[in-house]
Structure 1
Amino acid sequence: MTDLTALFTDLVRLETRLYNVLDTRLKAEHDLPLGQFEFLRFTAAHGTTRVFDLAREMAITVGATSKAVDRLESAGRVRRTANPDDRRSSLVELTSEGERVLTAAAPTVEAELNIWVGSVLPASVLDQLATSLSMLRQRAELDPRTDRHHSSTSGG
């Protein structure tokens, strides 16, 4: 039987080490922290997005997300516009500079991930791992306890 605690520990330690390697390389080569890369990638995939949607995707608070968007905006990589459907929120979209740095950084991320993951596991195992992690993430996202926006006073 698989030791789930050991599996969890391996996942966390691997994520931490990979995050640190990617973050260091992106900062050195593109002046772009990995967290900002993830924000740009999500925004590019959606065209425009709300801060709330970014927060939900990244599993962080709206306040932390808003500060991160402020940094991206100060760097000229995103712009905020008024949300015509909800005056309380704004829409975030990439600028040409955001598109440029994302396009430049994406191959760096892919190359690094290939070193640490793609060259270690055969394609069939990678496919199964991707499917398995997606299933686990979907399960976690269904549980309100994993949502940073969920009220901790909702009973228990």
Structure 2
Amino acid sequence: MDRFGNRYALDPFFTKLTGITEEAIEREGVTLQVALSGINSFSGGARFWSWGKDELNMVAVSCYIAGVDPPIAARHFDNAVKLLLAAGMPAEDLAKTPSNKLADYYSVEHPLLHGHDALDDALSVSYTLQHLLRAGKLRPEVFEPV
């Protein structure tokens, strides 16, 4: 939605990249408030890890534009990049490795993953973090807030 409450038309490039169509949004789409409340409920209060600062770039800005209070507190978000830094991944490699290529970077075996697919991107990060934890390169306490 734009700042006046009008829905943006999807760019054809976005549809090609993600597979999300206008028809899918009409059929399955929900309001921002409903979506975020559902995600918050699903999390059970667990921390949200993203590949970057999604709480600022996506959630906060979207809530601001929609004129709704964010149903998820900022303290529930964190940046998974800091986990990879703690595991010893060089910053220059982090800068050029998208989330969907992390598992490949660490040579972790996994099913075929597609970039720009939220689930597959999250799976790549998840497979990588599990690998680093099992290898002892990442400690569980790094996941705790400072």
Question: Does the TM-score normalized on the shorter chain lie above 0.5?
Answer: no
The structure with the largest helix share of the pair is 1
Normalising by the residue count of structure 1, what TM-score does the alignment of the two structures yield? 0.28
Normalising by the residue count of structure 2, what TM-score does the alignment of the two structures yield? 0.29
The structure with the largest strand share of the pair is 1
